[in-house]
């Protein structure tokens, strides 16, 4: 097993990875920006290396600085965490060229899934159902209108190099498509450096359901069930739960088996997530995330599998060593993302945490790098804590979550805790009766 792992990330996820390493007797190197010198993950790390000033492009995205930090500390492997460079194929290739192990998927799979058009073509080959769409990229208005007449309006224009929803445009007819296509192409070029776009039939009210996969790249693949991530606002997930209240056991087994079969055929290695839209009893693959995800803990809570530990074992060349039949998914888990933001208008609220008290008790997990006196810097994502609750049933989970939110004290800054409390009093959330648009309307009403 590795002796030393460099963690090229920050905040709660850097701490999460540190914890897995320490449990396995692996020393950690925290690569951090000047803004994070006092962060908890940096304090706990065996070694620390400052890799640059606060802006991420100069530190957490600075490939040369990260590779230098790994070299001077004698790290064996690099864990990219999530966001930043986690799905960057060029970074993974550079890590390997410099003689370090990249704790993540194969470079070719990062590249494949990074191109959403190629990813959908691969999904078709692997027997995964996709949303009806243009067979490849659409270059001009005539080609787009031609494709759309087969796909059927409304259509959604998406960037091939995109993902996560940025730069998508809905076109409800021919004229709108002609108007939106050049806009979408320009935005794709500006956001992703690649103007290529494709079309999909637009599903009006789906749920977002994703399947957590672990593969060892040696034929071993399992899934850890699905996560329902429909509760989102501006493409930021707010609450995730597993199992999805919308699926029955037969649907769960069907989508899990499909995902496992496809990933086995691909020879996928490490943790990954297949994203689907689910509407009227049908699943439609939209993209794959080739990284650890923020919401991974809920899958850990119901499966008992430590996903980061598995990533480390797999990167070290170990086979999974267990089969799907040995994975028991038990009970229900919900994650509330707590952001340093105003719960009314979502304006960022960085600053000093003057009071801090975490909830505890049976079924309560808090993944956070906060401590009393810590100053939340203004430069990064506003996620400061994840409250993860496990219960034997969904109702037990909701009761426990209500109680844990009541105990949680984060003073000195504004947080989204009150938003979660309001959400827990809402009939639709209590009944699990929501789609991907429901939360936007809820905060619009409540805010």
* Pair 86, 64: CB distance under 8 Å: no
359 C-beta neighbours (distance < 10 Å), count: 18
Does position 76 interact with ligand MV4 (CB under 6 A)? The reply is no
Q: Which is nearer to ligand MV4, 202 or 408 (CB)?
A: 202
Tokens of 183: 């806009």
The binding track of 267-306 with respect to ligand MV4, each residue x by CB under 6 A or -, is: --------x-x--------xx-------------------
96 vs 176, which CB is nearer to ligand MV4?
A: 176
Minimum CB separation of residue 117 from ligand MV4 in Å reads 14
- Taking CB under 6 A as the criterion, the residue among 12, 187, 200, 226 binding ligand MV4 is 200
Q: Which residue stretch of 18-26, 93-101, 203-211, 414-422 sits at the interface with ligand MV4 (rule: CB under 6 A)?
A: 203-211
Min CB(414)–ligand MV4 separation in Å: 24
- C-alpha to C-alpha distances, 212 to 82, 219, 267, 306, 396, nearest whole angstrom: 15, 17, 16, 12, 23
Angle at which helices 107-114 and 89-97 cross, to 10°: 170
Q: Is 210 in the site for ligand MV4 (CB under 6 A)?
A: no
Shortest spacing between CB 409 and ligand MV4, in angstroms: 31
Token pair listed for 105: 């998927």
d(CA 180, CA 138): 13
Q: Applying CB under 6 A, which of residues 111, 208, 227, 252 lies at the interface with ligand MV4?
A: 208
State yes or no: residue 164 binds ligand MV4 (CB under 6 A). Answer: yes
Q: For the residues of 102-141, what is the DSSP string, one character each? A: ESSS-HHHHHHHHSHHHHHHHHHHTT--B--B-SS-B-SH
Contact letters (x/-) for ligand MV4, 140-159, by CB under 6 A?
Answer: ----------------x---
219: contact with ligand MV4 by CB under 6 A: no
| Shortest Å distance, C-beta 370 to ligand MV4 | 27
| Active site annotation includes 291 | yes
> Which residues from 104-133 bind ligand MV4, rule CB under 6 A?
131
CB of 62 to ligand MV4, least distance (A): 27
Min dist CB 304 to ligand MV4, Å, is 28
Which residue in the set 102, 202, 283, 285 belongs to the binding site for ligand MV4 (CB under 6 A)?
202
Which of 232, 297, 300, 138 lies closest to 442, judged by CA? 232
In 12-112, at which residue ranges do the beta strands (DSSP E only) sit?
Answer: 27-33, 47-52, 77-79, 101-102
Q: Which two tokens stand for residue 224?
A: 């850890």
Distance CA 104, CA 97 (A): 15
Which of these is catalytic: 291, 313, 337, 400? 291
Kindly state the tokens that stand for 17: 């990875």
Look-up of token digits 């707590």: 338
Helix (H) or strand (E) holding 238: strand 236-242
Closer residue to ligand MV4 (CB): 357 or 437 = 437
Q: Which residues bind ligand MV4 (CB under 6 A)?
A: 131, 156, 163-165, 200-203, 206, 208, 232, 235, 275, 277, 286-287, 436
Active site residues: 291
């Amino acid at each position: 097993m590795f002796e030393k792992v460099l963690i090229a990330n920050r905040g709660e996820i850097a701490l999460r990875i540190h914890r897995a390493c320490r449990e396995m007797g692996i020393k950690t190197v925290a690569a951090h920006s000047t803004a994070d010198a006092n962060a908890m993950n940096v304090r706990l790390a065996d070694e620390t290396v400052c890799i640059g000033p606060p802006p991420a492009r100069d530190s957490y995205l600075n490939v040369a600085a990260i590779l230098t930090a790994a070299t001077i500390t004698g790290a064996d492997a690099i864990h990219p965490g999530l966001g930043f460079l986690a799905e960057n194929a060029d970074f993974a290739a550079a890590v390997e060229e410099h003689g370090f192990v990249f704790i993540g998927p194969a470079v070719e799979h990062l590249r494949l899934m990074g191109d959403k058009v190629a990813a959908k073509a691969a999904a078709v080959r692997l027997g995964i159902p996709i949303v009806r769409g243009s067979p490849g990229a659409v270059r001009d208005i005539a080609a787009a209108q031609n494709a759309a007449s087969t796909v059927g309006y409304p259509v959604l224009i998406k960037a091939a190099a995109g993902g996560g929803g940025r730069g998508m445009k809905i076109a409800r007819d021919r004229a709108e498509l002609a108007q939106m296509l050049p806009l979408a192409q320009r935005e794709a070029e500006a956001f992703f450096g690649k103007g290529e776009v494709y079309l999909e039939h637009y599903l009006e009210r789906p749920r977002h359901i994703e399947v957590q996969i672990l593969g060892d790249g040696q034929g071993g693949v399992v899934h850890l069930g699905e996560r329902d991530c429909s509760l989102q606002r501006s493409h930021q997930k707010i609450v995730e739960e597993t199992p999805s209240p919308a699926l029955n056991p037969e649907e769960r087994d069907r989508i899990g088996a499909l995902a496992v079969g496809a990933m086995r055929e691909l020879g996928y290695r490490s943790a990954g997530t297949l994203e689907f839209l689910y509407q009227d009893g049908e699943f439609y693959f939209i993209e794959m995330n080739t990284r650890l995800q923020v919401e991974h803990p809920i899958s850990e809570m119901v499966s008992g599998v430590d996903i980061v530990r598995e990533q480390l074992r797999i990167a070290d060349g170990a086979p999974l060593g267990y089969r799907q039949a040995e994975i028991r998914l038990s009970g229900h888990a919900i994650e509330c993302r707590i952001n340093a933001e105003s719960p009314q208008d979502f304006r960022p609220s960085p600053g000093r945490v003057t009071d801090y008290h975490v909830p505890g008790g049976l079924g309560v997990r808090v993944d956070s790098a906060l401590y009393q006196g810590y100053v939340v810097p203004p430069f990064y994502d506003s996620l400061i804590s994840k409250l993860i609750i496990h219960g034997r049933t969904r109702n037990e989970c909701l009761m426990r979550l209500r109680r844990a939110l009541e105990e949680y004290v984060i003073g000195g800054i504004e947080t989204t805790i009150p938003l979660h409390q309001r959400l827990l009093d809402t009939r639709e959330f209590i009944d699990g009766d929501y789609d991907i648009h429901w939360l936007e309307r809820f905060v619009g009403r409540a805010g």
